[in-house]
Amino acid sequence: QKEVEQNSGPLSVPEGAIASLNCTYSDRGSQSFFWYRQYSGKSPELIMFIYSNGDKEDGRFTAQLNKASQYVSLLIRDSQPSDSATYLCAVKETFGTGTKLQVIP
Amino acid sequence: DADVTQTPRNRITKTGKRIMLECSQTKGHDRMYWYRQDPGLGLRLIYYSFDVKDINKGEISDGYSVSRQAQAKFSLSLESAIPNQTALYFCATSDARVGETQYFGPGTRLLVL
């Protein structure tokens, strides 16, 4: 059974700091990886996807993929209180349980 | 109007009742999915459909059935609801032509008494 593992948190960071969210997956043949953000009571929305090893940057967000280590991460630079949410890592249609991020003003 | 809609948004039912959750999309996507979300368990895939004639079981399909009435409509049924089916249910869509990003509906909150 394919698995996607995340630390549930909460991860607390001060405003302006870098938040680092991590995810590991079990299926070595996986090709597509996603990070979704979910505010409390709302539906998940895509932040970034990544298909190739290395880094992919979009504004304050950077996704990192290491297929050899089966590891995906999301970095949020200059964290803002509005970034406080649960971040879901997904490998195709398999989701992790999410990491709750709290950005402290 | 929202691209992915779900009805009802909230539902309370009793054990043993049959209920249907409906999902419609105007995105023109070929793929549709049903998930349930429980605290601490994340999103779990119930069923998915890659086109009208293609229906597949997900991780937790027992106790559920689906119908893909058209490309734009995908319904989830609980034949005989039980309390542990109390959860938040999400429908999602994706377009195989442009990638596998999923677009979620607003969710249906179901309480089975």
For residues A37 and A22, the answer to whether their CB atoms sit within 8 Å is no
Residues of B in Cβ contact (< 8 Å) with A89? none
Q: What is the DSSP code string of A61-97?
A: EEEEEETTTTEEEEEESS--GGG-EEEEEEETTEE--
* Residues B46-78 pLDDT 10s: 999 999 999 999 999 999 999 999 999 999 999
- Euclidean distance between CA atoms B22 and B41, whole angstroms: 23
Q: Place B94 in a pLDDT band, splitting at 50, 70 and 90.
A: very high
Omega prior to B8 cis, within 30 of 0 = yes
Q: Is A99 helix (H, G, I), strand (E, B) or coil?
A: strand
Interface test with B, best of A45, A95, A100 (most B CBs within 10 A): A95
Please write the tens of the pLDDT for every residue from B18-29. Answer: 999 999 999 999
Three-state SS for A26?
A: coil
Amino acid B33: pLDDT: 97
Question: How close B36 gets to chain A, by Cα (Å)?
Answer: 11
Cβ separation B101–A90 shorter than 8 A: no
What digits encode the pLDDT tens for the residues A58-87? 999 999 999 999 999 999 999 999 999 999
Please report the pLDDT score of residue A8 as a whole number: 85
Residues A34-58 pLDDT 10s: 999 999 989 999 999 999 999 999 9
> Which tokens is B24 given?
């419609």
Contact between B31 and B48 (Cβ < 8 Å):
yes
Bridge-based pairing state of the strands B73-78 and B87-94: unpaired
A86 in reach of chain B (CB within 8 A): no
The residue with tokens 């929305």 is: A45
With 0-12 CB in 10 A as exposed, 13-18 as middle and 19+ as buried, what is B69? exposed
Q: What are the structure tokens assigned to B63, written together?
A: 């106790």
Look over chain B and give the mean of its residue pLDDT values, rounded to a whole number: 94
CA–CA separation, B37 vs B43, rounded Å?
5
Mutate to test the interface with B, among A93, A94, A97 (most CBs of B within 10 A): A93
Report yes or no: B87 and B37 within 8 Å, Cβ to Cβ: yes
Q: Hey, what amino acid is at A69?
A: S
Q: Which residues of B touch A (CB under 8 A)?
A: 33, 35, 40-45, 48, 58-59, 90, 99-107
Q: Tens of pLDDT along A95-105?
A: 999 999 999 99
CB contact under 8 A, B105 and A43: yes
Chain B nearest-CA residue for A43? B106
Query: How far is A1 from chain B, CA to nearest CA, in Å?
Result: 9
How far off is chain A from B100, nearest CA to CA, in Å? 7
pLDDT of residue B1: 57
| Distance between CA atoms of residues A52 and A33, nearest Å | 9
